[in-house]
Amino acid sequence: MKSLAPESPPSSATLLLPIRDLSQLFNAPLIDPLSPALPEVFGVSGVEYLLQQLEIKRPIKLTRVQVILPEGFSADVASQARNALRSYAETRIAQQRTMVRETRRNGWRLTGYAVLLLAFFLALSSLFASELTEGLRPLIRKTFEYGFEIIGWVMLWDPIEVLVFQPISIKSRIKALRQLLELEVAADVEGGTFEKPV
């Protein structure tokens, strides 16, 4: 008797990457929406398209990329693509790690300046809230009091972005690059024209 239990979804998937030439793996071509080559459709290099796909959260993990090339390429194109992607990923991981360190260093430097500015503007805010400015109209006093306070806290936004959000974005790219290193790379040389993946 056939089991009525639902089939479990596949745990891994293959990403198809049609390109016209191996150079499109690393060089962004001109945009051609009607092209069967994905880099030409989006106007990005093949490796950038792969990284964008790896950064997308999906229920099925991508474990294999199949590069599809038109007829005329040698049989060892898969090995060439694999070695090139590995070299690219390793170099970019080192670069991105350096960027994380430099971003944090720059963020702490900005934080020091921002804290000084915050103290300065809060002091001005306190000045307009004190008895020293009682002779001013209430509207003017409150405007400067709250205005300087808001400006002071706004000064912290850029350091927070540099210290918190920029490293998150860089680390997301590092994670995708590590996944790129683990991908199995295959190549399929087709005769004649080739179709877009569905």
Whole-prediction pTM value?
0.72
Higher pLDDT, 187 or 50: 50
* Domain contains 76: yes
In a domain, 48, yes or no: yes
Judge if 173 and 143 occupy the same domain: yes
138 with 72, same domain: the answer is no
Neighbours of 40 (CB within 10 A): 20
Same domain membership, residue 74 and residue 45? yes
Residue 8 falls inside a structural domain: no
Return the half-sphere exposure (C-beta side, CA atoms, 13 A cut-off) of residue 131: 0
| Residue 77 Cα to chain centre, angstroms | 28
Same domain (yes/no): 63, 26: yes
Nearest to 23 by CA among 65, 77, 66: 77
Question: What tens digit of pLDDT does each residue of 38-66 get?
Answer: 888 889 998 999 898 888 876 677 888 88
**140 has a pLDDT exceeding 90:** no
pLDDT for res 11: 52
Q: How many domains does the chain have?
A: 2
Same domain, 24 and 44: yes
| 153 and 185, same domain (yes or no) | no
Rg of the chain over all Cα atoms, to the nearest angstrom: 27
Angle, in degrees to the nearest 10, between helices 46-55 and 77-129 = 60
Residue 158 belongs to a domain: yes
- pLDDT exceeds cutoff 70 at 196: no
Do 61 and 116 fall within a single domain? no
Instruction: State which residues form the domain around 130.
Output: 102-178
Q: Does 96 fall in a domain?
A: no
pLDDT at 194: 40
pLDDT at 198 over 50: no
Q: What is the mean pLDDT of the chain?
A: 83
pLDDT (mean) for 179-193? 75
Count of beta carbons in the 10 Å neighbourhood of residue 177: 24
Q: Where are the beta strands (DSSP E) in the chain?
A: 12-18, 61-70, 184-190
Q: Is residue 24 included in any domain, yes or no? A: yes
In a domain, 94, yes or no: no
Q: Does any domain span residue 7?
A: no
